[in-house]
Amino acid sequence: MADAKGWAPGGDPYRPEPLSTYERLAEREMLRRAVRFRDSLRRRRTVREFSDEAPPPEVIDACIQAGATAPNGANRQPWTFVVIRDQKIKEVIRRAAEKEEAEFYANRAPPEWLAALAALGTDEHKPFLEEAPVLIAIFAQSYELAPDGTKIKNYYVSESVGIAVGMLIAALHESGLAALTHTPSPMRFLNEILGRPSNERPFLLLVVGYPAARAEVPRITKKSLEEIAVYR
Ligand code: IYR
């Protein structure tokens, strides 16, 4: 939809074309692929200890492009992915995040939240922000600015960016990389460090790389299908 001045973020006016990318599969093949994808995703674990070995930049870029295929409100694609490899910037981010996290663990977090986190073993120390080779800061664009400076509203921004990040995480996993979804709170400091404008809200920080040889993960289980799905 164009704004009053005819500027349309995210694409052309409605101009349909035939659906040419859809592939209809035989039922056996459908199940084979569904199970294969599920079993691959079941092998994904959130990792907190990373090797400093750098993954190929083209792999990261392709994964970001995979995430950016996400369905999203009015096709505004309200996201920015900031890829950080610079050691100095990672260090500044670690310091800023640990400052907020120290406050969170000491004062802001209510006791029941700390109890829920105890099983995961997290604390205010975030060495992975410096050790991992790549950080991807994802920003959600609450609104856009038209070339003439007028504000253009975006829609379902959290849903859209959440789906994109989910697809990005799946793409990283399929590519043989591990990730940690990190949410320092608050994280407005990322705008300043990364020079992002005020219409962009930090959504989360993905820590990406190869797991360290010493990496350990908590023993956790996923809920069963019976616990999460209902049928009517
Ligand atoms: N942001 C904090 C706390 C934290 C919160 C949840 I919910 C987690 O699943 C893990 C951590 C931190 O990163 O330590």
The parent domain of residue 70 ranges over 48-213
In a domain, 78, yes or no: yes
Out of 99, 122, 190, 204, give the residue to mutate to test ligand 1, the one with the largest number of ligand atoms within 8 Å of its CB: 122
Q: Ligand 1 centre and the CA of 19: distance in Å?
A: 42
Residue 156 predicted with pLDDT over 70: yes
> What element of type H or E holds 207?
strand 200-209
In 3D, which of 77, 66, 43 has the Cα closest to residue 155?
A: 77
Tokens 């800061």, residue located? 137
C-alpha gyration radius of the chain: 20
Distance from the Cα of residue 129 to its chain's centroid: 15
Q: Estimate the crossing angle of helix 157-174 against helix 27-42, to 10 degrees.
A: 90
In a domain, 101, yes or no: yes
In 3D, which of 57, 33, 22 has the Cα closest to residue 175?
A: 57
Mean pLDDT over 123-131 rounds to 97
In a domain, 92, yes or no: yes
pLDDT attached to residue 11: 65
Summarised one tens digit per residue, pLDDT across range 132-153 is: 999 999 999 999 999 998 999 9
In a domain, 22, yes or no: no
Residue 5 predicted with pLDDT over 90: no
- CA–CA separation, 174 vs 151, rounded Å? 38
Q: Ligand 1 centre and the CA of 183: distance in Å?
A: 6
Mean pLDDT estimate for the chain? 94
In a domain, 87, yes or no: yes
In a domain, 95, yes or no: yes
Share of the chain above pLDDT 70, in %: 95
- In this structure, the residue with its CA closest to atom 9 of ligand 1 is 117
The domain spanning residue 112 has which CATH number? 3.40.109.10
pTM score, whole prediction? 0.93
Mean pLDDT over 192-196 rounds to 98
pLDDT attached to residue 2: 44
In a domain, 27, yes or no: no
How many domains does the chain fold into? 1
